[in-house]
Amino acid sequence: MSGARIPDHPRASARALRFRFDGRELEGREGDTLAAALLANGVRLVARSFKYHRPRGIIGSGFSETNALVSVNGTPNLPATRVMLAAGLDVRSLNRWPSLAFDIGAVNGLLGGLLSAGFYYKTFIWPRWELFEAVIRRAAGLGRAPEGRDPGRYDSRAAACDVLVVGGGPAGRAAARSAAERGADVLLVADARGEPPHPAVRQLARTVALGVYDHTLVTAIEDVDAPGLRQRFWKIRANKIVLACGAFERPLLFENNDRPGVMLAGAVRDYIERHGVAPGRRAVFLVAEDSGLAAADVARAAGIETRVFDLREGYRPVRAIGGKSLRAVDVAGPEGTARIACDLVAMSGGWSPAVQLASQSGAGLRFEPGIGAFVSEHQCQTVRACGAARGVSGEAECGADGAAAGLWAAGGEDMPPAVMPVSAHVHPLPPPGVKAFVDFQTDVSTDDLRLATLENYRSVEHVKRYTVWGMGVDQGKLSAVNGVVALAALQGTEPGALGVTKFRPPFAPVAFGALAAGHGLGRLFHRWKQLPAHDWHVARGAEFEDYGWLRPTHYPLPGESIEAAAQREALAVRHGAGLIDSSSFGKIEFKGPEAGRFLDLMSVGSPSTIPVGRIRYNLLTDELGTLIDDGVVARLAEDHFLMTASSGHAERVFRWMEQWHQCEWPLDVVMQDVTGKWAVLTLAGPRARTVLDRAQCDIDTSAFPHNAMRQGHLAGAPVRIQRVSFTGEPSYEIAVAADRAEALAEWLMQCGAAEGLIPFGLEALDLLRLEKGYIHVGGDTDSRTQPADIGWGKGIARKQSDFVGKRSLLHAASSAPGREQLVGLQPVDARDVLPVGAHIIGGKTHPSQGIVTSSGFSPALRRGLSLALLEAGQSRMGEVLTVWSQGRKWQARVSPVCPFDPQGERLA
């Protein structure tokens, strides 16, 4: 047995816990991590690597573990070093078949030449990528994501404090104590258990900080012991933040440095001292700094046969010998190369400060040659790093640095410059052609970095994405510095000139359930906004979809499909009358002597010229001239306007306009979002006016033209009625107080019974607006669409005054030939309905010339109709084109966008 309990260690007498690893029953001790328990049972082989399926063992003891990823009770990709042992754990190794010991995927190691850096960009292009895509996608990833509901329960809390200290080591505890002694309200986030360093310090034990955000917001995840509760998600606001996150030990680069039995020296010491586990019997320590020598002394004292080679004295590792376990290591030195039998190699290439959270806070990073790693340089006035997290070495030195950080956080003077040891040792890169791994999990070797450099990848961000270096579960904690140093050597530059890749939250993996904690699940997670008359729609048998608002899509008869219901409802509106709930449309009121001028600045049109009581169609563009929303503007009085916005854009449009008002054009106008105040029920159809007259409306409908607005009473309730149409039929949008919506809907249905009035939903509305060519912004437009592309070019040319986006619209690119423009498409075979998203293709190589944006079967015209964005489409009327989607092709003729009542005679 290679690993064993140290008999006289306190952990040896702790309560025994039984667990299973790949079906094999094992025993650990209470307080063990899963990694410690596996080592205590002599388990060396715990995983297979991502690409080559090489045998891998435990390398570390904390956050930087990149090899020992396992599935625990069905949850995949958990580092064994971060899982606390519990009775009955069912642990499975990952990325192997049929077994961990005999993995067919290991044949990939023989295909190293084909699977080098960027192979997926180069190797599988010929003859067709589609032949290989399915196989590659199935091979991607490690563990299998669980398909069932997460059985765990999660909680969410918020906290505030004067000083937040992240890290429970010597520096963090000293910082918390120092700040508390000066009267600050201190919260300490510590990964391990233990008593707080001061009675006034609040402590979150078994808690990991995940990210640092604007305005000193820190998120954290706590492992909870409460029955049935798995984790608690924290949002913490602090006046000052002290980051005492420690440092990560660096591996050494040599051939086969990934073999089971090759570990970090600090991890070996940790397993011996904390867990009473000897990771091996015969150890070779390959160290480049003093902490590695101290770890060797600990191993020797624990009874492990130990040999030490100090790289600063001219020694260097050459290769590890072994397959599924380690047998020996070759070490080169002044007297030549020797092969030394061993079952454990403990390596230490120095320590890299944990700068992830500091970087997220806005700190810059610089390379410190003395320690061979990056340290943070804080520009932020509310965050400081201390201890090993800023390159300080030694327990006493870290404690002193932490005390200085606590003094600063409590309002004292700023911290002095860090005193860092000169401990870095740079040894040459392994020669080409050997497997020396920089990133263990993703199988990125020094040869992969050589290839990327040869192919002229210079930026660390490009190299990262090309080789997948640093993209594993540990997010480069173990590999980032070694990779940068290796790249610098290959490019003939300094590591500081290259920099590092961006560190993004979260710092450690976190369950989705924890992030959703406090929001509930299902409906409580995404709070649907319900229409004021929601219960009335339910009683009428409506089927609903989530459009931000929960809106009726159709009102099916028994056994009726959604397609059939939409056709029936649309025909009812064309020939009689229908009622649709339009309450979700945004409603923004503007009032003040400069309200019209402000709307002119925000709109493509000129709302200030609208007469009182009239309505005009309106477009909004952003600074790039891109169409972002449409609606109508009604003028209620000389200084009072009402603008509508589409349902999905309403809140964003209001915030956008408020920002322009406050930051750019502080005119004498106030605006208010009144969407929730008013319900809107729309009567549409040739008999809509008759229904309205029967509903006891005091507005004279005979003097109520299209694009006009009136205010009055309907069945005794105050209403605003707008004559606008999204159906192509005479329509009356009746706005009433939200609490009167259900009563008004029922009253209108009673009054319209003789006219065949029916409720209709969004599916029918979509068919009706498609027949008229009315656009849906965001569906029939994209991030490049400008007003001229939908036929509004003359409107822009007529407007002389400034508005948001005008300068961009005057640029030559806005009138360039070949822009995608909105057109209609009519399939040559009238029975066809083109798929939305289908490509319009042409030429020998079939390049895409545009896409289908809306499509359906017209109930009025009895044929398929579509809208599309087509290159130079407005000049190609009558042209027959090929439409392609998912291997199928159709022929379609380019046509005007409005095939039904193009003159608008039905709206009179």
pLDDT score of 563: 97
pLDDT at 206: 93
Distance CA 646, CA 675 (A): 11
Distance CA 354, CA 347 (A): 19
- Look at strands 207-213 and 364-368 and give their pairing: unpaired
Q: Residue 377's pLDDT is what?
A: 83
**What would the mean pLDDT of 483-497 be, rounded to a whole number?**
93
Q: Cα–Cα distance between 825 and 808 in angstroms, integer? A: 29
Nearest-CA neighbor of 299 among 319, 285, 318? 285
Superfamily of domain 529-584+678-768: Probable tRNA modification gtpase trme; domain 1 (3.30.1360.120)
Q: Percentage of residues in the chain with pLDDT exceeding 90?
A: 78
Same fold, 153-247+353-409 and 248-352+425-496: yes
Mean pLDDT over 378-405 rounds to: 91
The answer to whether residues 33 and 85 touch, using CB atoms and an 8 Å cutoff, is: yes
DSSP state of 566: H
Contact 26, 323 (CB under 8 A): no
Nearest CA to 781 out of 652, 620, 618, 628 is that of 628
pLDDT of residue 520 exceeding 60, the answer is: no
Q: Which tops the pLDDT comparison, 254 or 226? A: 254
| Mean pLDDT calculated for residue range 157-169 | 95
Q: What percent of the chain has pLDDT over 70?
A: 95
- Give the CATH number of domain 248-352+425-496; options: 3.50.50.60, 3.40.50.920, 3.30.470.10, 3.30.70.260: 3.50.50.60
Residue 127's pLDDT band (cuts 50, 70, 90):
low
Q: Which fold has domain 153-247+353-409?
A: FAD/NAD(P)-binding domain (3.50.50)
Mean pLDDT of 264-275: 96
**Does residue 116 or residue 452 have the better pLDDT?**
452
For residues 140 and 217, the model is more confident at 217
Q: Is pLDDT of 225 > 80?
A: no
Encode pLDDT of 680-702 as tens digits. 999 999 999 999 999 999 999 99
Model confidence pLDDT, tens digit, residues 76-86: 989 999 999 99
What is the spatial distance between Cα 616 and Cα 598, in angstroms, rounded to a whole number? 16
Split at pLDDT 50, 70, 90, the class of 2 is very low
Mean pLDDT of all residues in 649-656:
93
pLDDT of residue 1: 35
Q: What is the mean pLDDT of residues 151-166?
A: 92
Distance CA 261, CA 872 (A): 65
- Could you tell me which of 663, 395, 834 has the C-alpha nearest to residue 655? 663
pLDDT confidence of residue 379? 66
Q: Is the pLDDT of residue 3 over 60?
A: no
506 preceded by a cis bond (ω within 30 of 0): yes
What does the alpha-carbon distance between residue 146 and residue 599 come to, in Å, rounded to a whole number? Answer: 52
Note the pLDDT tens digit of each residue in 341-386.
Answer: 999 999 999 999 999 999 999 888 999 998 999 998 866 789 999 9
- Cis peptide bond prior to 787, omega within 30° of 0: no
All structural domains of the chain with their residue ranges: 4-108, 153-247+353-409, 248-352+425-496, 529-584+678-768, 586-673, 771-907
Q: Which two tokens stand for residue 705?
A: 């033209």
**CATH H-level superfamily of 586-673:** Aminomethyltransferase beta-barrel domains (3.30.70.1400)
State the angle between helix axes of 446-454 and 480-491 in degrees (0 to 180), rounded to the nearest 10: 40
**How far is 123 from 655, CA to CA, in rounded Å?**
49
Q: Exposed/middle/buried for 427, CB within 10 Å: 0-12, 13-18, 19+?
A: middle
pLDDT number for residue 414: 86
Look at the pTM and tell me if it is higher than 0.75: no
Cα–Cα distance between 389 and 635 in angstroms, integer?
62
Question: In sequence order, which residues have a C-beta less than 8 Å from that of residue 409 and are 6 or more positions away?
Answer: 162, 163, 165, 175, 179, 184, 240, 241, 242, 384
Return the CATH fold of 4-108. Answer: Ubiquitin-like (UB roll) (3.10.20)
Query: What confidence tier does 598 reach under pLDDT thresholds 50, 70, 90?
Result: very high
CATH class of 771-907: alpha beta
pLDDT digits (tens, 9 = 90+) for 285-343: 999 999 999 999 999 999 999 999 999 999 999 999 999 999 999 999 999 999 999 99
Amino acid at 224: V
User: Measured on CA atoms in the order 768, 771, 772, 774, is the torsion positive or negative?
Assistant: positive
Nearest Cα neighbor of 556 from 574, 577, 533, 540 is 540
- C-alpha 306/C-alpha 58 separation (Å) is 19
Alpha helices by DSSP H, 156-202: 170-181
Look at the chain and count its residues.
908
Residue 501 sits at φ, ψ, to 5 deg, of -75, 165
Give mean pLDDT, residues 488-492. 94
The answer to whether the CB of 113 falls within 8 A of the CB of 64 is no
Distance of alpha carbon 591 from alpha carbon 639, whole angstroms:
5
- The answer, yes or no, to whether residue 523 has pLDDT greater than 70, is no
Phi, psi of 68 (to 5 degrees): -85, 70
| Partner residues linked to 681 by β-bridges | 581, 734
Predicted confidence (pLDDT) at residue 798 exceeds the cutoff of 90: no
pLDDT at 119 over 90: no
- What's the chain's average pLDDT? 92
CA distance readout (Å), 496 to 251, 426, 467, 493: 20, 15, 21, 9
With b for 16 or more beta-carbon neighbours within 10 A and e for fewer, the 601-638 pattern comes to bbbbbbbbebeeeebbebbbbeebbbbbbbbbbbbbee
pLDDT band at 147 (very low <50, low <70, confident <90, very high): confident
- What average pLDDT does the segment 706-725 reach? 96
Helices 480-491 and 460-467 sit at what angle, rounded to 10 degrees? 110
Euclidean distance between CA atoms 640 and 744, whole angstroms: 26
Res 890: pLDDT: 96
Pairing state between β 201-204 and 186-189: parallel
In angstroms, the CA 808 to CA 784 distance is 12
pLDDT in tens, 50-80: 888 999 999 999 888 999 999 999 889 899 9
What DSSP assignment string belongs to 288-318?
SSHHHHHHHHHHHHTT-EEEEEEGGGT-EEE
| Composition of the chain by helix, strand, coil, percent to 5 | 30, 30, 40
Instruction: Look at residue 116 and tell me whether its pLDDT is greater than 80.
Output: no
Q: Rounded CA gap, 768 and 569, in Å?
A: 10
Distance CA 300, CA 320 (A): 21
The H helix count followed by the E strand count for the chain is 22, 49
Is the pLDDT assigned to residue 97 strictly greater than 90?
Answer: no
pLDDT at 461 over 80: yes
